[in-house]
Amino acid sequence: MDVKSTVIAIIAKQAVRSPDAVLMTNTLDDLGIDSLGLVESIFSIEEEFDIQVPFNANDPADSDFDISNVGSIIAGIEKLVADQNA
Amino acid sequence: MKRVVITGAGTVNALGLTVPETFEAMREGRCGIRDLVFRDVEKLSIRIGGQVPNYPAEDDFSRKDTALFDRFTMFTIHAAREAVAQSGLVFDGELAEKSGVILGTAGGGATTWDDSYYEVYHQDKNRVHPFVIPKLMPSAAASHVSIAHSLQGPSFTVSTACASSNHAMSQAFQMVRSGMAPVMLTGGSESMLCYGGVKSWEGLRVMSRDGCRPFSANRNGMVQGEGAGVFVFEEMEHAKQRGAEILAEVIGFAMSSDASDIVMPSQQGAVRAMTGTLRDARINPEDVGYINAHGTGTAVNDKTECAAIADAFGSHADKLMVSSTKSMHGHLIGGTGAVELLACIMALKDGVVAPTVGYDQPDPDCPLDVVPNVAREAQVEVAMSNAFSFGGLNAVIALRRA
């Protein structure tokens, strides 16, 4: 599985819905993922790709990681994975 | 109902090994948060904390005792010795039979868990030290304090995360007030500054890598601390008859449960704990001069707490001094309310309000007088100490000047 499908699978599992029902434009709110759910998803993503995601739950806006929707999360993870392989 | 006074106080925390040292640091607005020192700290992303520097365990305890005491127990016994010595009490006869000890801790012997798992999982050892269980049990500190001072009455440990010490002190207060016990030792202790202890907190992503700045717009999380605070709560007539020095009177407390979320705080739960304390103490909002805030330095806590104070105190909220001493000693989790009660005693007894240090930028969501960076001289009649825990278990206690 590529980065995109893997991240979608992790988010879908957290949202308790099928991966097809996770849209790139969905926000975490749309998917019913709260702050604890988000922290848990990031943990799963870090474990899956062996990366560190720069996310601070205190101030998501100030984190160097855009969580505004599924598409932005995937873009962020793709960059972190690419940087790691570079 | 009996009146309850504090006749002894003891501590060890990142600011000092005694109450006078801690008061001095609070007066000077000194920050005790520094680089952590312990095994594998370099593998953590959070490497600062309010660690007790160079704790002299070998001066405090015999070799036999150090094998039996976790660090949280050592801290507690150290603080209890100071408190009992100041009170001048000697526990024997009926006094010993009726007096007890109630302490708070969230993690108990966390370092002992960590060390023992390290040995069996990482070092492949086949056995652990025979005292692992009596060392790590969260009630170990209460037992050892009762043994050390011959306290044979009601004794137990309370664990309500970050509110543990305030819940413990509330119970001790109730027992003395009701006449059940003439004297209770109470407070709490924490020692989670080990690899597993900090690693677990890292997971929640609410920790700051660079400092604890409660109420400041640029705050970015909490910083863990460690240590203990122990107090002698004594029935007022008992204290007066023996001519004891009274540090402050305990006048009220209240507890509430948010009943809403395991990590997010509720404003209404905090309001109910504060207004409940005012009612229990039979005082008006205007009587309170200082609040030692829970003030963790997370975005959510500080904003919610400020809104709750404004709600509970109405227009008087603008006249109150509200500070978070966690900015100096860190968040002692289950022990935090005990060390923070010291700031209330200092305000009432010495007329010095401890500051919120690390305060850089005003936050419109925290529009209170947070006593920024510099301690302030002020006569305070009533001080209140807030503790709001993960899981929404709140406990607030109020003291009056003696």
The answer, for B204 touching chain A at a CB cutoff of 8 Å, is yes
The C-alpha atoms of residue B275 and residue A3 are separated, in whole angstroms, by: 52
- Please tell me the predicted confidence (pLDDT) of residue A4: 96
Searching chain B, which residue's CA lies closest to the CA of residue A37?
B204
Residues of chain B with pLDDT > 70, as a percent, come to 100
- Please tell me the predicted confidence (pLDDT) of residue B270: 98
Binary contact (B219, A35; C-beta < 8 A): no
The answer, for B208 touching chain A at a CB cutoff of 8 Å, is yes
- Please tell me the predicted confidence (pLDDT) of residue B260: 94
Reply yes or no on whether the pLDDT at B254 is more than 80: yes
Binary contact (B263, A56; C-beta < 8 A): no
For residue B6 the two structure tokens come to: 């504090």
What are the catalytic residues of B?
A: 162, 294, 331
Residue A56 binned pLDDT confidence (cut-offs 50, 70, 90): confident
Compute the Cα dihedral for B122, B128, B133, B135 and give only its sign: negative
Residue A61 binned pLDDT confidence (cut-offs 50, 70, 90): low
Residue A4 and residue A74 in contact, taking contact as beta carbons nearer than 8 Å? yes
Average pLDDT rounded to a whole number, residues B119-132: 92
B4-13, strands of its sheet edge to edge: B155-158, B100-104, B183-190, B227-235, B4-13, B248-257, B393-400, B382-388, B288-292, B321-323
- As its CATH architecture, domain B253-400 has 3-Layer(aba) Sandwich (3.40)
The answer, for A38 touching chain B at a CB cutoff of 8 Å, is no
Binary contact (B298, A42; C-beta < 8 A): no
Binary contact (A55, B205; C-beta < 8 A): yes
Q: Which CATH number fits domain B4-241: 3.60.10.10, 3.40.47.10, 3.30.1640.10, 2.60.120.10?
A: 3.40.47.10
User: How far A44 CA sits from the closest chain B CA (Å)?
Assistant: 12
Reply yes or no on whether the pLDDT at B31 is more than 70: yes
For residue B87 the two structure tokens come to: 């009170």
List the beta strands (DSSP E) in B274-400: 288-292, 321-323, 352-353, 376-377, 382-388, 393-400
Number of H helices, E strands in chain A: 3, 0
Tell me the domains of chain A and their CATH numbers: 3-85 (1.10.1200.10)
User: How far B215 CA sits from the closest chain A CA (Å)?
Assistant: 13
Beta-carbon pairs below 8 A across chains A and B: 29
Reply yes or no on whether the pLDDT at A62 is more than 80: no
- Please tell me the predicted confidence (pLDDT) of residue A60: 67
The answer, for A54 touching chain B at a CB cutoff of 8 Å, is no
- Name the amino acid, one letter, at A70: V
- Please tell me the predicted confidence (pLDDT) of residue B130: 87
Task: State the pairing for strand pair B183-190/B100-104.
Answer: parallel
B156 versus A37: which is more confidently predicted? B156
Question: What are the angstrom distances between the C-alpha of B260 and each of A33, A65, B269, B298, B308?
Answer: 16, 29, 9, 19, 16
Q: Angle B212-B216-B219 (CA atoms, 0-180°, nearest 5)?
A: 45
The answer, for B210 touching chain A at a CB cutoff of 8 Å, is no
Domain ranges of chain B: 4-241, 253-400
Kindly report which listed range (B128-132, B272-276, B362-366) carries the lowest average pLDDT score: B128-132
Average pLDDT rounded to a whole number, residues B183-195: 98
- Please tell me the predicted confidence (pLDDT) of residue A35: 85
The C-alpha atoms of residue B285 and residue B270 are separated, in whole angstroms, by: 15
The answer, for A35 touching chain B at a CB cutoff of 8 Å, is yes
The C-alpha atoms of residue B302 and residue A80 are separated, in whole angstroms, by: 32
pLDDT digits (tens, 9 = 90+) for B347-387: 999 999 999 999 999 999 999 999 999 999 999 999 999 99
> What is the rounded average pLDDT for all residues in chain A?
91
> Which of B205, B220, B363, B365 to mutate to probe the A interface, most A CBs <10 Å?
B205
Task: Return the bridge partners of B34, or none.
Answer: B49
Q: Packing angle between helix B164-177 and helix B336-350, nearest 10 degrees?
A: 60
Average pLDDT rounded to a whole number, residues A48-71: 85
- Name the amino acid, one letter, at A42: I
A42: chain B residues, CB-CB within 8 Å: 205
For residue A81 the two structure tokens come to: 């994975």
One DSSP character per residue, B7-52 reads EEEEEEETTBSSHHHHHHHHHHT----EE--STTGGG-S--EEB--
Residues 6+ apart with CB under 8 A from A9: A1, A19
pLDDT digits (tens, 9 = 90+) for B303-313: 999 999 999 99
B298: chain A residues, CB-CB within 8 Å: 58
Q: Would B4-241 and B253-400 be classified into the same CATH topology?
A: yes
User: How far B254 CA sits from the closest chain A CA (Å)?
Assistant: 28
Average pLDDT rounded to a whole number, residues B47-56: 95
> What is the rounded average pLDDT for all residues in chain B?
97
Is ipTM over 0.90? no
pLDDT digits (tens, 9 = 90+) for B138-170: 999 999 999 999 999 999 999 999 999 999 999
What residues 263-322 of chain B have any CB closer than 8 A to a CB of chain A? 263-264, 298-300
Binary contact (A58, B299; C-beta < 8 A): yes
Reply yes or no on whether the pLDDT at B194 is more than 90: yes
User: How far A43 CA sits from the closest chain B CA (Å)?
Assistant: 8
The C-alpha atoms of residue B60 and residue B117 are separated, in whole angstroms, by: 27
Binary contact (A55, B300; C-beta < 8 A): no
